[in-house]
Amino acid sequence: MPHAPKPAGRGRPRTITREKIADAGIAMGLPDVTFVGVAAALGVSHMALYKHVPNLEALRHLIAEEIFHRWELPQASAPHQIGLEEYLLAFTASARQFVKAHPGVTPFVIRRLAATPAMLEKIDKHQAHIAQAYGITKEQSRWLLATVTFSCISAADTVYSAARLEPLAGSDFVQEEAEMEAELVEGIHALIVGALQMLDRKP
């Protein structure tokens, strides 16, 4: 008589990694992140998740930091062909898409106290890269990028938050978003032009 097969074991516990936590949080969206929701997406208990992240605020910081880490900042690969104004237009276009793709990330990016050391290190390296590429001082690069980025991300967050609201009766959602986005782009361009004119006043 053949032996009955042994019941399958429970198997190894699921591995919880920073990347998997971030993937689950990004898919959920920062405003909707909860411990229970992320744990469920990972297929683990929320108590198991607590062993890796101590609280909800730390969980959101982890996800925001990973979102920022994955943002590929445009590089000044040909500064002799692409001027600083043109570069800043490309950079702010990337920033707008970054905000649009990740609702809720703005407070973690524009508040220096909310930014993690890894985020600050990435910002510092980008500022140094632009200073070297365009022959300006590190302080000028820091001021220029901080000024443009703060205004761009803050305005973009406002515009895309408004665009996600329930459309008014009889309104065209797509057209309204396109109109607001066009005004945003024009305003950011004006800011860039003005900031470049002020750059020489900086050390």
- For the chain, where do the domains classified as CATH 1.10.357 start and end? 73-201
* pTM of the full structure: 0.83
Alpha-carbon distance values, 123 to 74, 116, 127, 148 (Å): 12, 11, 6, 13
* Residue 161 structure tokens: 């938050």
> CA dist 4 to 1, 7, 181, Å?
9, 9, 67
pLDDT tens sequence across 5-47? 444 445 455 689 999 999 999 999 999 999 999 999 999 998 9
Q: Would you say residue 97 has pLDDT above 80?
A: yes
Cβ atoms of residues 84 and 134 within 8 Å: yes
Q: What mean pLDDT comes out for the span 154-178?
A: 76
pLDDT in tens, 120-161: 899 999 999 999 999 999 999 999 999 999 999 999 999 888
CATH of 73-201, one of 1.10.260, 3.30.70, 1.20.1070, 1.10.357: 1.10.357
What pLDDT shows up at residue 14?
A: 65
Amino acid, res. 180: M
Does the pLDDT value for residue 176 go beyond 80? no
Considering the four listed CATH numbers 3.40.50, 1.10.10, 3.30.70, 1.20.120, the one that applies to the domain covering 18-67 is 1.10.10
Phi-psi label, residue 103: left if phi above 0, alpha if psi -120 to 50, beta otherwise: beta
- φ, ψ (nearest 5 deg) of residue 40: -65, -40
